[in-house]
Amino acid sequence: MEDLLRPFLSLRELTTRELMIHVVDILLVTFLLYRLLMLVRGTRAWRIVLGILGFLLVLYIAGRTGMSTLHYVLEKATYVGPAILAILFLPELRLALEGFGRPATLLPRVIPNQDELAEARTVEELVAAVAELAAGHIGTLIVLEKESPLNDIAANGVMLQAMVSAPLLGSIFYEGNPLHDGAVIIRGDMILAAACRLPLSDSARLDQSVHMRHRAAVGVTESYDCLVVVVSEERGTISVASEGRLQRLGSAAELRAVLNRELRNMEDEPPPKKDREPRHRHRRLRRNGVEVKP
């Protein structure tokens, strides 16, 4: 018991200044770990983190139980570990370093800066485009990049690097456009690429009536941290996919709320009642856990 309490008892011997330094030290490490976890949450990197924890656990058990061969091999593997991790986490490391280069992104927002104004404009352009595409029953698939870069997916389509705008999105998905087949990838306020092929979901939770476009929307969110907006060609409905789940929205106003929440961490006013679908309908569609028919 005394052993357990010793570190705490030794705190009494510290001066106020030393104590403050320890507190700041702990807060900074906590903050860095939090940022790191937020960065990898919902991405493939999350699985790598779990893999590392599993590896460390086996290494520890091998050491404690005297399994010397296993312990020797695992210990040698730890020497090359940092290099392997740097390669595996390259995209996430780049994002983290970019974040540190822009300290404003780490602090709470008070006054909207240029980035926030651009985000707000992008949301409005997206909402306007999707509303129009849905009204015209034009099949649409828009992937909005979040924490994990979608370079490999963008690479299988046609690179555009154009500012997001409602007319441009409308013309991409217009049936006569050679780029209308496939998905558009959006990074920040740029349309990175169009006509991209997405991985299809084979989730058993999806209803049989969920077709390829919506399966592709769900599929990409199973492997990457992103948000997908889909318009059904057949029904003209708007849905969003996130973290392997599909949710049908009642209106473009609901889409605005979702985009503001997911991309800008902003809670919108709930849409006016007339814009919402009757509750019983949502309940029916959401049976068996979210999987809403698109």
Ligand X SMILES: Nc1ncnc2c1ncn2[C@@H]1O[C@H](COP(=O)(O)OP(=O)(O)OP(=O)(O)O)[C@@H](O)[C@H]1O
Give the residues lining the site for ligand X (CB under 6 A).
Answer: 139, 141, 181-183, 197-198, 200, 211-214, 216, 232-234, 294
Find where tokens 């770990």 sit: 33
Q: In whole angstroms, how close is the CB of 154 to ligand X at the nearest point?
A: 12
Q: In whole angstroms, how close is the CB of 236 to ligand X at the nearest point?
A: 9
**Cβ-based nearer residue to ligand X, 40 or 217:** 217
Q: In whole angstroms, how close is the CB of 210 to ligand X at the nearest point?
A: 8
Q: In whole angstroms, how close is the CB of 187 to ligand X at the nearest point?
A: 17
**Cβ-based nearer residue to ligand X, 39 or 196:** 196
Contact at 8 Å (CB) between 180 and 77? no
Find where tokens 């087949």 sit: 181
Sheet holding 183-187, edge to edge: 158-163, 190-196, 183-187, 140-145, 226-231, 238-242, 245-249
Strands (DSSP E) along the chain, which ranges? 140-145, 158-163, 183-187, 190-196, 226-231, 238-242, 245-249
**Cβ-based nearer residue to ligand X, 89 or 173:** 173
Find where tokens 């780029």 sit: 179
**Cβ-based nearer residue to ligand X, 25 or 175:** 175
Contact at 8 Å (CB) between 164 and 126? yes
Q: In whole angstroms, how close is the CB of 230 to ligand X at the nearest point?
A: 7
SS3 content of the chain, % helix, strand, coil (to 5): 55, 15, 30
- Collapsed DSSP state (helix, strand, coil) of residue 254: helix
**Cβ-based nearer residue to ligand X, 127 or 138:** 138
**Cβ-based nearer residue to ligand X, 181 or 222:** 181
DSSP calls for 72-119 = HHHHHHHHHHHHHHHHHTHHHHHHHHHHHH-GGGGSPP-S--HHHHHH
Q: In whole angstroms, how close is the CB of 166 to ligand X at the nearest point?
A: 20
**Cβ-based nearer residue to ligand X, 75 or 207:** 207
Q: In whole angstroms, how close is the CB of 137 to ligand X at the nearest point?
A: 8
Q: Which residue's Cβ has the minimum distance to ligand X?
A: 211
Q: Which residues contact 156 (CB under 8 A, 6 or more apart)?
A: 196, 197
Instruction: Return the DSSP state at 231.
Output: E
Q: In whole angstroms, how close is the CB of 197 to ligand X at the nearest point?
A: 4
**Cβ-based nearer residue to ligand X, 183 or 253:** 183
Rounded to whole angstroms, the Cα distance separating 66 from 188 reads 52
